[in-house]
A = this chain, B = another copy of it.
Amino acid sequence: MTTITRLPHPAIEEVALTDVLFALSDPARLEIVRELADGPLSMAECGATNPALPKSTKSHLMKVLREAGIVRNEPDGRRRTVSLRRDELDAVFPGLLDSVLGATDR
C-alpha cells in the first residue's frame, strides 16, 4: 500500500541553473522564497502576502520551487514544513540566492 506522503526532490547536483532562474522569475514564487529566507514555514503559514490564494494554486507554486531544487517540502504531522535549500544552493550556485534575496525589487 504505497504511501506517498514523501515528495520527490532533485539531488542538488542535478539542479539546472535555468530551472532555478525560471522558478524565481515569478513574483508569487519569489515572494514565498523571501518569506522562507527567515526560516522554515508550514504551507499554511507561507503566502502571508496573497492571503486569498487558493490552496491548489499555492501547492502548485510550491511544486515548481521544489522541482527546481529551491525548496524542501517535508511531511510534519498533518502539515508540511517548507524550507529553503539555502546551503545546498549556495554550494552549487554561489552568491545567486544572496543577490536575489538582497535585491530591492521594484
Contacts and interface: CB of A to CB of B under 8 A. Distances in A.
A25 B16 CA distance: 10
A17 B94 contact: no
* Number of this chain's copies in the complex: 2
Bin the interface of chain A by size. 20 to 34
Contact of A99 (B18, B95, B105, B106): B95
Q: Which of the listed residues A24, A92, A98, A99 has the most CB atoms from chain B within 10 Å of its own CB?
A: A99
A103 interface: yes
- Binding site of A, secondary structure by majority: helix, strand, loop or mixed? helix
A98 to B, nearest CB: 7
A51 interface: no
A16 B30 CA distance: 12
Interface of A: 13-19, 21-22, 24-27, 30, 92-96, 98-100, 102-103, 105-106
**Which 8 A-B residue pairs are closest in the complex by CB-CB distance?**
A22-B25, A95-B99, A21-B25, A96-B99, A17-B105, A93-B103, A21-B24, A21-B21
